[in-house]
Chains A and B, each alone.
Chain A
C-alpha cells in the first residue's frame, strides 16, 4: 500500500479522490432520498401567517393558493382580514419591505361575525354552500344559523343570500375580551418643549 503510494503518487491521489467522491456521492444521494422535504416549506410558513379566513379577497381561491402565489413572488399586501399585522409578519418572514395594504383588495375592517336574521331566512342553503369553514347550520327550507365561534368573518355568505338577510356584525367588547390599550402616543420630547412641538 505505502509502496504503491510512494511509487505512483499521481495514481494514488487519483484513486483517493475518486474514492472520496464516490463515498460522499453515495452519502449525499442517500440523504437526498431519506430527508426529502414534501412540498414547499416556505409556502407552509407563509400559509401559517395568513388568517385562514379563506375569503378570497386577495384574488386567490383561499389562503393556501395565496401563500403559494407569495412564494412565487406575489405582493404581500393583498390580505385585508390580516391587515397590517399580517403584512408585518410576512415582511419579517420573507425579509422584504413592509407595504401598505393594497387598496384594490379592500380595507382592514374590525373583526366581525356573520349573523342571519332568522325571521327572514327562506332556507335556500346558498350561504351554507358559500361558507368555506362550514360555520352555517341548516337545511333546505329550514332556517339557517351561523355558529359564531366557527365564523371567520369572511363575508362570503353575504353575497349569495337572495333575501339579503345576513349581516356582518362587529364583535362587541365585553368583560371577557376587554383588555388594556396602549397609552396615547408619547411625545418623546424633552420636558422643556412640553406640548410645543
Chain B
C-alpha cells in the first residue's frame, strides 16, 4: 500500500459533527404513499416524461427519457399509478418548481429489473456505459453530473480515484455505505476499472472514518485485488472536492481549464460507483440513495436508505425531529448546502444530507463587516485564488478582472467565507458574479446573433429594392423593344403585299415617263465612257510595263468601245422595253415573288414555326414560375394563345 500523500493547499477545519449520525446502522425509509419524482435531478437538460397519467408503473421502470448523455434517465422508485405529471416544488436552491411525475404507490413494491449483466468483466465498454446511462446513474456526491457522460471519456485513463473522503461536516452517508457495504464498493471499483481500462484505483478515505477504512481494507484483503489501494488522507475541508482529492492522492493539479481526465484520472464518488455496479450486476435502476439526517433538532440522527421522490417530511418524522427546536432545514452540509422551508419537497438523487440544526448549534451568520484585508481567506482557499480581490472586483462588477483572477476556478466550497473574520458571505458574491458573467456572455452572443440577423435583413431588403428597380428598367426596355418591333412589323406588312407595292412603284415610274428612261440611257453612256477611258489608260500602262496582259486589256477596250457605240446608237433600248408597260411587268414580277414566297410558307412550315414559338413560350413560362411568379399569368396566357394558333394551323393543314 502506498502511503505517499500530498498536502492540500489551504483548507479549513470546521467541527466534524459526524459522530451523531454514525451510531445507528443504515435504516430503510419505507414506501411513502405518494412520490414526487422531478425530471431534473441532474446537471444538464431535464428528461422528458414517457408515461401518462393513469399508467401503472413498476419499481425501476423508466418514466423519464433523454437522448443525450448529458442528461439522465429517471425511473419510478416503487410500483404504483401515475396520478399527475405537473410542475411541483423542487428540491433546489432556487425553490422554483420543476416538472415532476407523481406516483401513488400500491405498497407492493414490484420490481421491473433490467437484465443483469453478471459477467460484466467480459462485457464491452459500450454495453456497460449504455446500461449506466439507462439506469440513470448520476453523481451522488452532490453535483449530479451524469455518470455515463463522465465515464465515456475518450482520453486514455490509467487511474480511477474513488472518493470516500466525505469532508463536509455532519454528512456520513458515504461513510456508512463504506462501513456496511464494503464488498460491493470493491466490486464496483473493479467494474469501473474494467470499464475505463484503468490500471489501478486510489481509494481516498479521510482519517476520521476508522470504521470505514477498516471495512474497506478487510473487504480488499478478502477480495485480494492488489490494484486497489486505500489511501488514508488527513481530515481537512474540502479534501473531498474532486480536484482537491486528486491533488492529495497524486500530487498533480488538474489544469485550468480542463478536467481530471486530462491527467488520465477519473474520479467517482463511492455511492455513484455502487449505483453503477447495481445497475450492471443486478439490473437495478438508480431509484434510492442513502441520506444522512443530522443536527440537534433531529431526535434520532442516522442514515436512511430512501426511495427517490420520498417527501422530506417522512424522513424527518421517522427520525423524530423536533420542529420547535429546528432553526432551519439545510439540504447538504453546513458549508455548501442550501436552506429550504417546505418539508414536502422530495428527496432527489443528490440529497446526501438533511441537516436540521438548532439556533445555538448553527447560529445565523452575523451581519457582514467591512473587509479588513487580513488575508485569511487566501490562506484557506484550496485552489489558491485571492478571495478578497475577487470580492472587491465582484462588488465593483469588474467582470474582466474577475476572469483574470480565475473566478471560474472557484469550487464554491465556502472555506473563505468560513474563515472570514468579518463574516462576509464571499461565496455568495462569487456565485452571483459567475452567473452575471455567464449572463453577460450570453447577452453578447445574443446581441451578435441579432446583429447578424439585422444585417441579413437589411441586405435582403436592399437586394429586393435593387431587383425591383432592375425589373422596372427591364420592363421599360422590353416595352420599347416591342414598340420598335411593332413598327418594323407594320413596315414589313407593306412589303408583304408585293403586288400592291409594285403597282405603286410602277405607277410612279410611269408618271415619270420617258424622261426617266432618257436619263437612264444618258447615264449608261456616261458610265461606259468612263470605263472605256479607264480601260484605255490601263492598256497604255500595260503596254509599257508588262506585255502579257496587253491582249486581254485590248479585248476589253474593244468590247467597251462596241458597247458604247451600241448605247449611243440605241439610247433607250433596255428602259424602253420596260417602259412599254411597267405596271404590267411589275405585277408579273410581284406575282412571281409571291409564288416563290408562298411556296415555303406551306401549312407544314407554318405549324413547325408555331411549334417552335410554343416551345420557347413554355420554356419562358417555366422560368418565370421560379423567378417571377407575379408575371406567370402573362406567360401562361401567351402559351394559351400560341396553342390556339397552332391548333388552327393544324386544322387548316388538315383541310
Contacts and interface: CB of A to CB of B under 8 A. Distances in A.
B370 A188 contact: yes
Given A88-B397, A132-B454, A195-B367, A50 B447 contact: yes
A152 B444 CA distance: 12
A175 B448 contact: no
Contacts of A48: 444, 447-448
Given A133-B453, A181-B432, A182-B432, A187 B368 contact: yes
A52 B552 CA distance: 94
A189 B450 contact: no
Contacts, number: 92
B96 A174 contact: yes
A191 B424 CA distance: 12
A152 B446 contact: yes
A53 B424 CA distance: 38
Contact of B443 (A51, A62, A132, A134): A51
A52 B96 contact: no
A18 interface: no
Contacts of A188: 369-370
- Majority-rule SS of B interface residues: helix
A18 B95 CA distance: 79
Contact of A180 (B366, B431, B454): B431
B450 A182 contact: no
Contacts of A133: 450, 453-454, 457
B498 to A, nearest CB: 57
Interface size class of B (residues with CB under 8 A): 35 or more
A110 interface: no
Interface string A45-72: 0011011111000000011000000000
B573 interface: no
Interface in B83-98: 90, 92-94, 96, 98
B367 A183 contact: no
Contacts of B425: 183
B6 interface: no
Interface size class of A (residues with CB under 8 A): 20 to 34
Contact of A52 (B433, B438, B454): B454
Contacts of B98: 175
A180 B432 contact: yes
A48 B90 CA distance: 39
A29 interface: no
Contacts of A88: 397
A190 B457 contact: no
Given A88-B397, A188-B369, A63 B90 contact: no
A186 interface: yes
A39 interface: no
A178 interface: yes
Interface in B360-377: 366-370
B428 A182 contact: yes
A48 B444 CA distance: 8
Contacts of A52: 446-448, 450-451, 454
A108 to B, nearest CB: 14
B95 to A, nearest CB: 9
Interface centre among B431, B439, B454 (most CB of A within 10 A): B454
A186 B40 contact: no
Interface string A165-197: 000000001110011111100111111001100
A150 B432 CA distance: 26
Nearest to B430: A180
B96 A173 contact: yes
Contacts of A191: 366, 369
Nearest to A172: B96
Interface centre among B394, B429, B443, B451 (most CB of A within 10 A): B451
B612 to A, nearest CB: 39
B4 interface: no
Given A134-B453, A181-B432, A175 B92 contact: yes
Nearest to B433: A182
Given A175-B94, A179-B434, A180-B428, 8 more contacts: A47-B451, A48-B444, A52-B454, A173-B96, A175-B92, A180-B432, A186-B370, A191-B366
Interface of A: 47-48, 50-54, 62-63, 85, 88, 132-135, 150, 152, 173-175, 178-183, 186-191, 194-195
